[in-house]
């Protein structure tokens, strides 16, 4: 009886022991599992390789983006500086004239102002010049005084200094006087 119990216990154990070589041919289910295991391991290696490549590509993209941002900060003013060089040249040429007449000076200043306006336009530097009576906009105007006026309260009475915006961002508000409430 004890022999039968040993046989019954040993039979399931033999089935779980890995089979190799000639024994695998005798047990075809085991060979299929080994093939499945090697195919899964190959697929795992392929997925790991793809993951590592994607990770490296992500790092390269991040590094390139950081370099681009760094270059953009470093050379952001380059375009504006290129546009300003001719303006400086014109001013220097005006100073070299031996005996300038009032008209030639005025003409030179007007030409230089055109160059400067062109440089501003090219670099999206927009002038803020509110009109008298225009509603006071705290995002674009800075009221330095409130004066009695014959117009609606909180409107522009006088512009003391123009303001400027760069690409929809306020660089300097227009300095104005505003109408006092009646």
In-domain check, residue 35: no
| DSSP-derived pairing of the beta strands 156-161 and 141-147 | unpaired
**CA torsion 61→67→73→79, rounded to 10°?**
-90
pLDDT given at position 27: 63
Of 133, 117, 129, which is closest to residue 163 (Cα–Cα)?
129
**Backbone Cα Rg of the chain:** 41
Q: Could you tell me how many helices (H) and strands (E) the chain has, helices first? A: 5, 6
pLDDT at position 104: 87
Domain count across the chain: 1
156 assigned to some structural domain: yes
Asked whether residue 171 is domain-assigned, the answer is: yes
pLDDT at residue 165, as a whole number: 95
Model-level pTM greater than 0.95?
no
State residue 159's pLDDT score.
95
pLDDT at position 172, please? 96
Does any domain span residue 28?
no
Helix axis angle, 78-96 to 102-122, nearest 10° = 180
Tell me the CA distances in angstroms from 43 to 30, 51, 57, 138, one per residue in order.
20, 12, 21, 63
Q: Is residue 86 part of a domain?
A: no
The CATH number of the domain where 165 resides is what? Answer: 2.30.22.10
Query: In angstroms, what CA-CA distances link 146 with 140, 153, 160?
Result: 17, 9, 13
In a domain, 165, yes or no: yes
Domain that holds residue 146: 124-182
Mean pLDDT, contiguous 10-residue spans, the chain (182 residues):
46 46 58 91 96 96 94 83 92 87 90 93 92 93 93 93 93 95 79
Q: Sign of the CA dihedral 118, 168, 142, 77?
A: negative
Per-residue model confidence (pLDDT) at position 8: 45
**103 within a domain of the structure (yes/no):** no
Assess if residue 60 is contained within a domain: no
């Amino acid at each position: 009886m004890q022999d039968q119990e040993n046989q019954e216990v040993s039979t399931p154990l033999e089935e779980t022991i890995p089979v190799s070589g000639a024994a695998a041919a005798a047990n075809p289910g085991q060979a299929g599992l080994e093939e499945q295991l090697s195919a899964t391991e190959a697929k795992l290696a392929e997925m790991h390789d793809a993951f590592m490549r994607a990770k490296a590509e992500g790092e390269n993209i991040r590094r390139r983006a950081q370099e681009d941002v760094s270059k953009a900060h470093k050379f952001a003013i380059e375009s504006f500086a290129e546009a300003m060089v001719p303006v400086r040249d014109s001013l220097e040429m005006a100073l070299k004239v031996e005996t300038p007449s009032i008209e030639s000076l005025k003409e030179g200043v007007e030409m230089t102002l055109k160059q400067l306006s062109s440089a501003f336009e090219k670099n999206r530097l927009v002038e803020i010049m509110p009109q008298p009576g225009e509603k006071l906009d705290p995002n674009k105007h800075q009221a330095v005084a409130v004066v009695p006026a014959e117009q609606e309260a909180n409107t522009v009475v006088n512009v003391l200094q123009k303001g400027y915006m760069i690409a929809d961002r306020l660089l300097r508000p227009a300095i104005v006087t505003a109408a006092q409430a009646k």
